[in-house]
Amino acid sequence: MELISPTEWAKDLVQAIQDWTYLAARSIGNIFRHPRYVSDTLQQADLIGVGSLPIVVLTGFFTGGVLALNAARTLEQYGSLSLTGQLVSISMVRELGPTLAGLMVAGRNASGMASELGSMKVTEQIDAMRALGTDPSKKLVTPRVVATIIMLFFLTIICDFFGLTGGFAVSQLGLHLDAHQYWNNAYQTLEFGDVIIGLIKPLLFGFLVATIGCYYGLTSRGGTQGVGRATTQAVVAASILILAVNYFTSQLLLYLLK
């Protein structure tokens, strides 16, 4: 293994961030330019949205369930078991729904994008596309970014809902709470700000997942091994960034919405 000097490493990192920023900015700019690849976008939306639905539903359901289980143990000590719905609801909508849906889509689709575009890159299909007069940024990147942002938005709502359902299942079957009370509690506690935070996050996460997946794919080199490496790096980078950005958006939005 060759050692890289810290300055070399820092230079590469700055260069990578710069390249990613350019790719990301262009992917959004393309939305306002011709040609627009609507059918490619729909195809990606199907792949990302419909494809990720089962995994997001299951993740949401079980997380909601385990939240209720743990919340109940603490709340019971204070005799306020009835607040279970409230706890599940706040955690799911504000933090866990967006984060979990984001992480699931990162695992499934950032990797998929990196490996698909990476294979195209190392077999010169990207160059062939450019040579045929098509802008890969318009044909490949923008449809993925747009589709991921829109689909992750809805997947998050679905994840939230199934999280609440999971919490409800546990409170009904395990804790024997009143159904009406659970849902009422869950609904009443949500403030406008919570919902806004919970719905802005998936837009950011979707943008991150798709641009990072495409970036690693389009910059991969070194044959099939290089594509494998790009795929892993894309998932790692997207996941870490989702968690980091989640923290900072929570901070920021809580401050702004005060």
| Chain residues that interact with another protein, rule: CB under 8 A | 35, 119-120, 123-125, 127-135
Neighbour count for residue 75 (Cβ, 10 Å): 18
Q: Which is nearer to another protein, 26 or 229 (CB)?
A: 26
Q: How many CB atoms lie within 10 A of CB 234?
A: 28
State which residue, 81 or 140, has the beta carbon closest to another protein: 140
Nearer to another protein, 47 or 96 (CB): 47
Q: How far apart are CA 257 and CA 192, in angstroms?
A: 9
Q: What token pair was written down for 50?
A: 């419909």
Residue whose CB is less far from another protein, 54 or 133: 133
- 177 three-state secondary structure: coil
User: Which of residues 99 and 111 has its CB atom nearest to another protein in the complex?
Assistant: 111
Residue 141 is classified by DSSP as I
Q: How far is the CB of 229 from another protein (least distance, A)?
A: 19
Q: How far apart are CA 113 and CA 231, in angstroms?
A: 8
Q: Supply the minimum distance, in Å, between the C-beta of residue 148 and another protein.
A: 20
Q: Please choose, from the candidates 160, 191, 190, the residue with its C-alpha nearest in 3D space to the C-alpha of residue 257.
A: 191
Q: Least CB distance from residue 237 to another protein, whole Å?
A: 25
Query: What's the rounded Cα separation, in Å, for the pair 14 and 20?
Result: 10
User: Closest distance between another protein and the C-beta of residue 115, in Å?
Assistant: 12
Shortest CB 47 distance to another protein, Å? 13
Residue 124 is encoded by which pair of tokens? 């010169």
